[in-house]
Structure 1
Amino acid sequence: MTSASDKTVSGLGPHGERAAAPSRITLLDHDIAAARESGFSVAIVIHTLHSDWSQQSMAGIVKTLDQCGATVSEVVNCEFDADAQIAALDRLSGEPVDAVVSIPVGNAAVAEAHRRVAKAGKRLILLDNVPTGMLPGRDYTSLVSADNFGLGLIGAELLSPHVPENRQVGILTYGVDFFATNEREIAFARWIKANRPDLTVHTRRFASLETTGQTTESLIEEFPELGGLFVVWDIPAMEAIRALDCRGVYVPVTTVDLGREVAIDLAGEGRTVGIAAQQPHAQGVAAVKTAILSLLGLPVPGWTALPGVPVTASNIVESYQAVWSTDAPAEVLKLKGGSS
């Protein structure tokens, strides 16, 4: 059986390309000096600020921009609203910013607005998602993402030991066409088919975070003996877990992103049995380095990806430290016997 925990990138990019490692994105001292002299201005257009992933990604972005003497001209919180993102991008296209770092909240709906940013002469660095039909070097500068396919593999591998034979397994995924979550869903199902052919996978889509609980309840009603559940990121995973709690149903859950709440649930041996953690701080750093190199006229990869980190109750403390570069929450440390 192939281990999903190998520190390699498993997936391909949105155009079938191989990933460049973050170590390839290096700013030398003279690059930083040139950037400081240029005084670049960068705008950030993010899907939401209300998640641990977003906070850590922003921390990596802002820290690295400051090191390069660049200013953050604006941070736009789109709250998963495509119309809000389109309006922000169109406004930024006409403003004196040198680069835009954006995580597109959809595909076809926001594609043209992102293209207009690049056509206006801005360097466009995408996080995690490439809108439909956009090509690197023409419609955007570079994509910097997690290995989302690898995250799905990790989610399946961590869930498998907790699921009895010949059971039903659910995937809760995002109802919006989104490259990152699509990759996680595909990889999870593919791993189960290859390694646990006794299991049957059922996919259900939530239209918004607010409907995740309802979607979970519908899945449980349809399959009362559900053996396991994979949710494509941590915030809807916790909504699903609350729905399971209300029904008094135990279903083992794996998800993506080492958010505070799901980390506490994992440490306390609740319904969460494993997490495929991204590296958002490091991803933010890589995105800014890519932007600065491009603004200096240096070549950058079309796709840079960071591998996922498999997290279980046994390695939660050290994994939290590695991913967030800070101590695990007090609740986690207490649940793990005060280890550090």
Structure 2
Amino acid sequence: MKKISFYKGNLKLMALLFFSFGLIACSNNVEQVSGDATIDSNNDSNKDSEVTHPAWYEEPSEEQLEAAKMDNVSNIIVSNGPHGEEAVSASEIVITDEQAEKIRESNITAAIAMGFLGDDWSEQQLAGLKSEFDNFGIEIISETNANFDDTKQISDLETIGVRNPDILVSIPLDGQTTAGAYKALAEGGTKIVFMDQPAAGMEPGKDYVSVVSADSFGLGMNIADELANALGGEGEVAALYYAPDFYVTNQRYQGFVARLEAKYPNIKLVTVQGFQDPNKSQEVAAAILTRYPNLDGMYASWDVPAMGALAAARVAGKSPQDFKVVNENLGNEVAYAMAKNEFIAGIGSQRPFDQGVAEARLAALAKIGVETPPYVAVPSLAVNRSNLAESLQEIYHQEVSGEIQEALNSN
């Protein structure tokens, strides 16, 4: 595994992952559109000038640009951790026979506090966690779902604290508001492994064990490649990004932008627009297509807004042959759309099952006193229709559904 490192800087203030009530503008010059849209008020003049990136955007460093210029970015890890930590590949997190015996003899108890459930990413995370916990005889004594409500997540964490588990794996919905609850668990002796990013003010090795994440910068670069391939290396495109300042989605967007700038001079990013609620992303995408009807393609932060972009393109009368959507996360809906040749041209996939396995291993190792790395990353996987079936098997660890296989065979 090749590792390319760059310093990301200090952890920014974190926001709720998928749900928020306010509208955050993507620039200082915006107007509000229904569906929490944020639209440039410069209209088509944006095609002849640089786009205004969101406030949290950082210009790529020299090392980032060096990575973005590489011909092949598959099977590498580019991202650093939220505190600037160098990433360790998840494949390096192994448990020896001696360690496994000690883990089983320790009668470890675990809790899982999810911020949300119901999507393919979270379900695969759970599957990986439970599979590895079962392998080492770790008992899950509490499993919660905050359903996008940080107040409920705080309550969930407080309830988990009463059970006093040995280890906790969790993703903070709001790193600021939930920090106190996580700190209380850590002070009570629970070893915490975070998915994607830590709660605010917590330090690795002191307050928590590790953060496990996909290589988000690499994900962004992968789908820039897929979009460029689908467009034949030229065209005008838009980016539909997650507006709040959330580390992993920031990294995806920044990787996408850096790769376009470094490798594809004939693809012009003409507008970038943010969304707050992914369930309203169709309205944001529709507003983009109304203002820029001749767009050739669109980036979406993950699979849910990508389906919103697909729906907006269909309503706008776009043809799948002339308009391409790319996104992060290999969810079943976007996979089926890709199989049917319906707009989805490329996907940068996380490996959530493998992330869950790594999280379980790190927590167990920390509990028996083994030193663990503060930031662990899983390499991304570039997916297009030609490798879709193979990629689904690799990501989901099961056979491709009959529906998707039939679509691949008939289209």
TM over 0.5: yes
Q: Bigger CA drift: 224-233 or 291-300?
A: 224-233
Cα pair 1:125 1:142 within 8 Å, conserved: yes
Percent identical: 32
**In the alignment, which residue of structure 1 is the partner of 2:156?**
88
User: Hey, what does 2:283 align to over in structure 1?
Assistant: 214
Match of 2:385 in 1: 313
With 240-249 and 138-147 compared, the bigger mean Cα shift is at 240-249
1:146 CA drift (Å): 0.7
Equivalent-residue separation in structure 2 for 1:328 and 1:132 (angstroms): 39
Superposed CA offset, 1:123-171 (max 9, x none):
1100112333432112221001110111011011111133477744222
Of the three residues 108, 121, 124, the one matched with 1:53 is 121
Q: Which residue in the other structure is 1:254 paired with?
A: 326
Structure 1 pair 324/208, CA: closer, same or farther in 2 (3 Å)? same
**Two-structure CA RMSD over aligned residues (Å):** 1.8
Distance 1:52 1:117, change over 3 A: same
Q: Distance in 1 between matches of 2:315 and 2:84?
A: 42
CA distance in 2, matches of 1:229, 1:70: 44
Q: Which runs of 5+ in 1 are unaligned?
A: none
Query: In 1, Cα distance between the equivalents of 2:177 and 2:260?
Result: 32
CA distance in 2, matches of 1:132, 1:203: 28
Read off the aligned partner of 1:285 and give its amino acid letter: V
What letter corresponds to residue 108 of structure 1 in structure 2?
Answer: Q
Instruction: Say whether residues 1:283 and 2:351 are aligned partners.
Output: no
Specify the alignment match of 2:134 in structure 1. Answer: 66
The answer to whether structure 1 residue 190 and structure 2 residue 258 are counterparts is yes
Aligned residue in 2 for 1:234: 303
Counterpart CA distance in 2 for 1:248 and 1:140 is 50
**In structure 2, do the counterparts of structure 1 residues 253 and 137 end up closer, same or farther at CA, with 3 Å as the change threshold?**
same
Partner of 1:102: 170
Taking the aligned partners of 1:64 and 1:164, their CA distance within structure 2 comes to 43
Aligned residues between the structures: 338
1:330 paired to 2:402: yes
- Helix, strand or coil at the partner of 2:177: helix
- The answer to whether 1:126 aligns with 2:198 is no
Paired AA for residue 69 in structure 1: G
Contact 2:74 2:380 in 1 (8 A): no
Amino acid at match of 1:45: A
Which whole-Å CA distance do the structure 2 matches of 1:132 and 1:194 have between them? 33
Question: What is the CA-CA distance between 1:104 and the residue it aligns to?
Answer: 1.6
Q: 8 Å contact 1:206–1:212 — kept in the other structure?
A: yes
TM-score computed with the length of structure 1 as normaliser = 0.93
TM-score (norm 2): 0.78
